[in-house]
Amino acid sequence: MNINGHELAVEISGSGPAVLMVHGLGGTSNFYQVQADALQDNHTVIRVDSAGAGRSELAADISIESHADDLAAVLGELDCGPADVVGHSMGTLVVRSFASRHPDLVRKVVLLGAVDVPAEAARQAQRDRAALLRDQGTAAVAPGVVANALSAQTRESKPEVAAFVRELIMRQDPEGYARNCEALANATEPGALPADLPLLLITGDEDKVGPPAASQRLAEARDNASVVILPGVGHWTALEAATEVTEQLVAHL
């Protein structure tokens, strides 16, 4: 689908109220395959590979805000907004920006492994990762992602999940992945979610990238927010705890 001057891979399945699913850094629409299969009986499930990720082209400029505006353009092209919106990792910043910039297009929000705007050390780490990707390719970063972003329990008891995460990383275009790392490094506070927007936050108790404290801060002072913390789960929430995340999404949406 040609969106804002670049080609994005967009998968659509099912029928009913729209659910828009936004992957995180290093991910693709396949991150949500289990959840999409469960939701498509009662929803139109829309999954987008963000610019520079997966099967989508590079864009001239890639930022949290440009990803958010791409999502709005996808819903406009499909004439199916407003939507319930699900985001993971860096995608939670994209979803928050999307809800702030296009509030009329959002009904409910689910954030998996919600992340804060990075502190300076984390910004530099993303810039360093971008440089490494350009110099040595995805094989140089994949082992670290598997080791640091999955829980020890997942790596031991679900080696197929570790293998799939490695494959997601290895299949990325190095330049696209690098530019998305830089988009995260340059991220600014996307602003508060609209006060009346129902919000569900799901994270793992071993998530070092989007720790429970980040989700709890987003839920504070909101009457319509709930936080679910999954034991023995790291940052790749929808893969590490596929059944639990699916049940939570079906119930919330």
pLDDT digits (tens, 9 = 90+) for 79-128: 998 999 999 999 999 999 999 999 999 999 999 999 999 999 999 999 99
User: What pLDDT sits at residue 169?
Assistant: 98
> Taking residues 216-242, what's their average pLDDT?
95
221: pLDDT strictly greater than 90: no
Q: How many CB atoms lie within 10 A of CB 188?
A: 11
Q: Scanning the structure block, which residue is given the tokens 């390719």? A: 137
User: Model confidence at 195, in pLDDT bands (50, 70, 90)?
Assistant: confident
pTM tops 0.95, yes or no? yes
Residues of the domain holding 137 = 2-252
User: What pLDDT sits at residue 16?
Assistant: 96
**What is the per-residue pLDDT across 165-179, written as a single tens digit (0 to 9) for each?**
999 999 999 999 999
The three-point CA angle 52-185-197 to 5° equals 80
CATH of the domain at 155: 3.40.50.1820
Q: Cα–Cα distance between 29 and 36 in angstroms, integer?
A: 9
Average of per-residue pLDDT values in the chain: 97
Q: What total of structural domains would you count in the chain?
A: 1
191: pLDDT strictly greater than 90: no
User: What pLDDT sits at residue 168?
Assistant: 98
User: What pLDDT sits at residue 223?
Assistant: 84
What ranges in the chain are assigned the alpha helix state H? 33-39, 64-78, 90-101, 120-136, 142-149, 152-157, 159-170, 174-185, 212-219, 237-240, 242-252
> Taking residues 152-163, what's their average pLDDT?
98
One-letter amino acid at 70 equals D
**Are 40 and 18 contacting, i.e. CB atoms less than 8 angstroms apart?**
no
**What is the per-residue pLDDT across 15-72, written as a single tens digit (0 to 9) for each?**
999 999 999 999 999 999 999 999 999 999 999 999 999 999 999 899 999 999 999 9
Percent of the chain surpassing pLDDT 70:
100
User: What pLDDT sits at residue 194?
Assistant: 86
